[in-house]
Chain A
Amino acid sequence: MARIIVITSGKGGVGKTTTSAALAMGLAQRGRRTAVIDFDVGLRNLDLIMGCERRVVFDFVNVINEEANLNQALIRDKRCDHLYVLPASQTRDKEALTKEGVGRVLDELAQTFDFIVCDSPAGIEHGATMAMYFADDAVVVTNPEVSSVRDSDRMLGILSSKSRRAEANEEPIREYLLLTRYDPQRVDSGEMLSVDDVQEILSLHLLGIVPESKAVLTSSNAGIPVILDRESDAGQAYADMVSRYLGEEVPHRFLHAEKKGFLSRLFRG
């Protein structure tokens, strides 16, 4: 049985899609059969980040409406055999996502995949609630900033009450925190919330800290999940996150600003 992971946040622009792409690619690279679904119907982005926008024929809504079958709609990633993308529709609205339809598609995917990553749209409306309804795990993507933290908190409340697991009185969704766009220098100077500040409010299992990085934008524009950029700090942070999600103990990195040594200051300064 596949594990269904929702990537959510409440707030927009915090890095949900980047995280979805990175997590899905990371899991697939470790040999897990992974499907990543774009729930942002009407504003599809995931296919761009995954670099498969030119190969979209059918989409998620087509499958829900039984206008296409899953195999026709799933796009296999060219870089990794275990990774498939189910893009969102650009021409419909989110009402096209019905609980029965989404449930059926996820059930069908669960037969053949190990992990299903659901990229949630921003907000707490229909699309977002559909993305999290069937989830087993939730990764709450948060920026170290007060409004993002509050929205994540709100999202956690919804996760614990409006999901299938909550309604069936099963074990609750496992909730993880991923802190993105973290800038240790600004944290040190008191301009940005620190990990501890965020955890004081959310108190969740911390899956990782992704530093603010130019690599994220460059990779997104190039259609390459940033996790494939092993040189970059963001890529490494995402790789750590995948390891932690799979249960490995990896110490947290990128918490503190790099201290500039005497020599580097001398030569670069």
Chain B
Amino acid sequence: MAVNEEKPKSDVSSSFELKAASFTLPIIRLLDTDVEAVAARLGTKVEKAPDFFHNTPVVIDLGSLPEGAGEVEFPLLVGLLRGYGMIPFGVRGGNPAQNAAAEALELAVLRDSYLRRKKAAKETKDAERESESRAPAPQGSDAPIGLLPGRRANPGFMLITRPVRSGQRVYAAGGDLSIIAAVSSGAELMADGNIHVYGPLRGRALAGMSGNLEARIFCQDLQAELVSIAGHYRVSENIPVEMRGVPVQVFLDQKILRIEKL
């Protein structure tokens, strides 16, 4: 209120102004959809200049991906960037399916007018082909179940009652993920919120995908290959033996991943 009083009270609309400004931002240009390769390269880069990347907003450029490179694993990629302290906030140069996937993660789709014009003709053709070939595809086991293009209404949580098998991926965008069956090794669970597993957890579980440091993983029987909260992860090798096979919770304490018995 103090601020308002100092301002001339001429009219209500003067409480803000809408203006355009341009910023120079670092861009991460993806040349490959293999997030693990990106992780390896990025890790060494960040180590050299950790301050440079801390709290830096970045844009993910998809324009240089080879055609038919497969799906970009946005949840993993975003989790990775956040883990390094960056703030990924948008994508550019993606195809319609990639843009939809990015939007589902609440990333902005930046329109690059120059890029657009150049690719416009090709893009429309691609889009047509895309919509034809995509129609039956999204149910594929390799596509994260929650990440279907077209972004359905989000109830804020996701409940899975059948076993999550090796190779399947489940992503609960914007909420919690509850699973009341076994999660096999080789399966991957992702959620923006918490993850609850009421069966043996043998696969990977990544909670707080959108950077929520408060997210936790709860499970009845921890046998996971990897657990991660907001990009801070631990592989099975680093999970203490006494935590295996018992009910535990996984959470972040001062950015350190902790596993505690329940």
Give the chain B neighbours of A162 by CB distance below 8 A: 139-141
Give the chain B neighbours of A269 by CB distance below 8 A: none
**Does the CB pair A150–B182 fall under 8 Å?**
no
Give the chain A neighbours of B164 by CB distance below 8 A: 157
Complex CA gap A173/B44 in Å reads 47
**Does the CB pair B182–A203 fall under 8 Å?**
yes
Main secondary structure of the interface of A (DSSP, over half): helix
A52 on the B face (CB < 8 A): no
Give the chain B neighbours of A201 by CB distance below 8 A: 182, 184, 202
A258, chain B: closest CB distance, angstroms: 33
B168 on the A face (CB < 8 A): yes
**Does the CB pair A157–B139 fall under 8 Å?**
no
In A213-240, the 8 Å CB interface with B consists of none
Q: Which residue of B136, B145, B162, B166 is within 8 Å of A153 (Cβ)?
A: B166
A153 closest partner in B (C-beta): B166
Give the chain A neighbours of B145 by CB distance below 8 A: 161
A172 closest partner in B (C-beta): B162
A156 closest partner in B (C-beta): B165
A182, chain B: closest CB distance, angstroms: 21
**Does the CB pair B140–A161 fall under 8 Å?**
yes
Interface centre among A153, A162, A166, A203 (most CB of B within 10 A): A153
Complex CA gap A164/B162 in Å reads 18
Contact pattern, A 163-178, Cβ under 8 Å of B = 1, otherwise 0: 0001100000000000
- Given known pairs A201-B182, A201-B184, A203-B182, the reply for A153 and B165 (CB within 8 Å) is yes
Give the chain A neighbours of B136 by CB distance below 8 A: 167
**Does the CB pair B168–A203 fall under 8 Å?**
no
Interface centre among B140, B165, B185 (most CB of A within 10 A): B165
B186 on the A face (CB < 8 A): yes
Give the chain B neighbours of A150 by CB distance below 8 A: 166, 184-186
Give the chain B neighbours of A126 by CB distance below 8 A: none
Give the chain B neighbours of A157 by CB distance below 8 A: 141, 164-168, 184, 187
**Does the CB pair B163–A203 fall under 8 Å?**
yes
Interface size on A, residues (CB 8 A): 14
Give the chain B neighbours of A156 by CB distance below 8 A: 163, 165
**Does the CB pair A161–B141 fall under 8 Å?**
yes
In B114-170, the 8 Å CB interface with A consists of 136, 139-141, 145, 162-168
B258, chain A: closest CB distance, angstroms: 28
**Does the CB pair A167–B165 fall under 8 Å?**
no
A70 on the B face (CB < 8 A): no
Give the chain A neighbours of B182 by CB distance below 8 A: 201, 203
In B183-205, the 8 Å CB interface with A consists of 184-187, 200, 202
Complex CA gap A156/B163 in Å reads 10
- Given known pairs A150-B186, A154-B186, A201-B182, the reply for A160 and B140 (CB within 8 Å) is no
A193, chain B: closest CB distance, angstroms: 14
Give the chain B neighbours of A195 by CB distance below 8 A: none
B98, chain A: closest CB distance, angstroms: 21
Give the chain B neighbours of A166 by CB distance below 8 A: 139
Complex CA gap A160/B164 in Å reads 10
Give the chain A neighbours of B186 by CB distance below 8 A: 150, 153-154
A205, chain B: closest CB distance, angstroms: 13
A158 on the B face (CB < 8 A): yes
Give the chain B neighbours of A161 by CB distance below 8 A: 139-141, 145, 168
A124 closest partner in B (C-beta): B167
Given A157-B184, A161-B140, 5 new contacts (CB under 8 A): A150-B166, A156-B163, A160-B141, A161-B168, A201-B184
- Closest 4 A-B residue pairs measured CB to CB? A157-B165, A153-B166, A154-B166, A161-B141
Selected A-B contacts with CB under 8 Å, 25 pairs: A150-B166, A150-B186, A153-B165, A153-B167, A153-B184, A153-B185, A154-B166, A157-B141, A157-B165, A157-B166, A157-B167, A157-B184, A158-B167, A160-B162, A160-B165, A161-B140, A161-B141, A161-B168, A162-B140, A162-B141, A166-B139, A167-B136, A167-B139, A201-B202, A203-B182
Chain A residues close to B by CB (< 8 Å) = 150, 153-154, 156-158, 160-162, 166-167, 200-201, 203
Chain B residues close to A by CB (< 8 Å) = 136, 139-141, 145, 162-168, 182, 184-187, 200, 202
